[in-house]
A and B are shown apart, each in its own frame.
Chain A
């Protein structure tokens, strides 16, 4: 056996001739929604959130005697265009971080199964370092360490705060992606490597032509889940001075200076994130179910 051809793990080598496994029994009724599944779903959560907000607002309203001022929905509506712009910025940051993190993470994940021990160890170290660091700390590091502009061949490339924030958020994404990738590669049966080997494929060709295409399906659910988590983490950038939806909300609240606005305003923003992320998590669950059976 050519030792360098097969994927490497840090501790144990992949099980030779992995056996086909019996799939768990699935009851035929599993596809039908039960009553509690019909009653308690994502939209119930949203309704509960809004209802809760309404009760709180009523109380604060009554206490502050703000009845003669503009109504809360009117104010929310007034600020919506500004806040939406901020939210769009959050989405943009999440998409860019995800793109950078995914590309780097896939590369790092492949290096984690490299036949070269030094490469494998280094990739593992980088992955573990970023995976086990708080996102906020990484964000601060990027904001503080990356200069505001870099000169390359006399050309000044500016690095505004939001670009640094994108880089800061892409680091943990990279680390998670790297782990998912490693797991996906190792989950491909060893027979695939062997048959490619016996057909004369090099290790690189096997990776590109046989292994990586098969990991896409396995990665999709975790990848989407990671994206939802990342999107929900984007308000962190407001702490490091990027004008995202949270920063703008705070400004709006300061401008209005009304106590009874606090809860509805934040809940308003919360519901946007919910509406954006919930379908993603639903889709993830559906994909997981779809791919779970196909080994």
Chain B
């Protein structure tokens, strides 16, 4: 089956995941179309992060299926590199390589993994750093950058692989309130360009403004989902209402 853009770019169907005896995901399903921005919210321990880590095979699953552009992710014969090129991921703790400068961090994967030409890669990396508003910080090491700046380098680093889908795992959770905004602006720019974004977030205002669809998870299941307007103003499930009353 070849994938066409009118089909979901990421399709999650009845996914089950457990760590030992602990069942974390109990049958989660969602379809995400190209260019959509999806926010997954929910109390801690509800399996949000686990879910998006499953999308790029950082975690394995025990049941169900996840496809990206029609390609089954949890398949033993999967070409890992093909998946990595399609799906980029940004982590809560940035996870930049501390022994490389910002520019080198962005250039590393295209150079070493995709074996692209150095001059082209460098040109693209500089453009990406400019795009995340970090012009002039190319030669700084991650230790010399603020949390928000590091997180934007991490976003640029993922973008350097030209992914079709970006996963954001609580990317602002470790940041100061002032620097949260600069990272969110970067994500907003990306979304405006039509990048498919899947975010796990606690930034309700951001989710409301930017998301096309919001999923609320609790205890490993999707309790409720819908477009932001209906979700925030007209939540049906008591669990959703309780959660929203606490965070809003």
Q: Which residues of A are in contact with B by a Cβ distance under 8 Å? A: 1-2, 17, 20, 189, 191-192, 194-201, 205, 209-210, 213-214, 294
Cβ–Cβ < 8 Å partners of A2 in chain B: 57, 60, 80
Cβ B58 vs Cβ A199 within 8 A:
no
The answer to whether A195 touches B95 (Cβ under 8 A) is yes
Cβ contacts under 8 Å, B59 to chain A: 1
B88-124 interface (Cβ within 8 A of A): 88-89, 91, 93, 95-99, 108-109, 112-114
Contact B113 A194 (CB under 8 A): no
In the complex, the chain A residue whose C-beta lies closest to that of B85 is A200
Assess A1 versus B58: contact at CB under 8 Å? Given A199-B158, A200-B81. Answer: yes
Q: Which chain B residues lie closer than 8 Å to A189 at the CB level? A: 93, 95
Q: A195-B91, A198-B158 are in contact. List 7 more A-B contacts (CB 8 A).
A: A1-B59, A195-B96, A197-B58, A198-B87, A200-B84, A201-B113, A209-B97
The interface on chain B, measured as residues whose beta carbon lies within 8 A of the other chain's beta carbons, has a size of 29
Evaluate whether A199 and B108 lie within 8 angstroms (CB atoms) in the complex, with A191-B95, A205-B113, A214-B99 already known: yes
Q: By CB atoms of chain B within 10 A, which of A197, A198, A209 has the most? A: A198
Alpha-carbon distance A290/B97, docked complex (angstroms): 20
Max chain B Cβ within 10 angstroms of own Cβ: one of A20, A194, A199, A210: A199
Given contacts A1-B60, A195-B95, A198-B58, contact A209 B88 (CB under 8 A): no
Given contacts A2-B80, A209-B112, are A198 and B56 in contact (CB under 8 A)?
yes
B161 contacts partner chain A, Cβ-Cβ < 8 Å? yes
**Known contacts A209-B108, A294-B143; A199/B113 CB under 8 A:** yes
Determine the chain B residues whose CB is within 8 A of the CB of A194 once the complex forms.
Answer: 58, 91, 95
Find the B residue at minimum CB distance from A294. Answer: B143
Closest to A216 in B: B99
A196 vs B99: C-alpha distance when bound (angstroms): 14
Residues of A within 8 A of B87 (CB): 198
Between-chain CB contacts (< 8 Å), 29 pairs: A1-B60, A2-B57, A2-B60, A2-B80, A20-B93, A191-B93, A191-B95, A192-B95, A194-B91, A195-B95, A195-B96, A195-B97, A196-B97, A198-B87, A199-B84, A199-B108, A200-B80, A200-B85, A200-B113, A200-B114, A200-B161, A201-B109, A201-B112, A205-B112, A209-B97, A209-B108, A210-B97, A214-B98, A294-B143
Point out the residues of chain B lying under 8 angstroms from A210, CB to CB. Answer: 97
The docked-state distance in angstroms from the alpha carbon of A1 to that of B54 is: 8
The minimal Cβ–Cβ distance linking A28 to chain B, given in whole angstroms, is 22
B157 at the interface (CB under 8 A from A): yes
- Chain A's nearest CB lies how many Å from the CB of B76? 11
Q: Which of B59, B85, B109 has the most CB of A within 10 A?
A: B109
Q: List chain A residues, Cβ under 8 A from B112.
A: 201, 205, 209
Residues of B within 8 A of A209 (CB): 97, 108, 112
A198 partner, pick from B84, B96, B99, beta carbons under 8 A:
B84
Q: Contacts A1-B59, A205-B113, A209-B112 hold; do A198 and B97 have CB atoms under 8 A apart? A: no
Residues of A within 8 A of B89 (CB): 195, 198
| A192 to B99 alpha-carbon distance, docked (Å) | 11
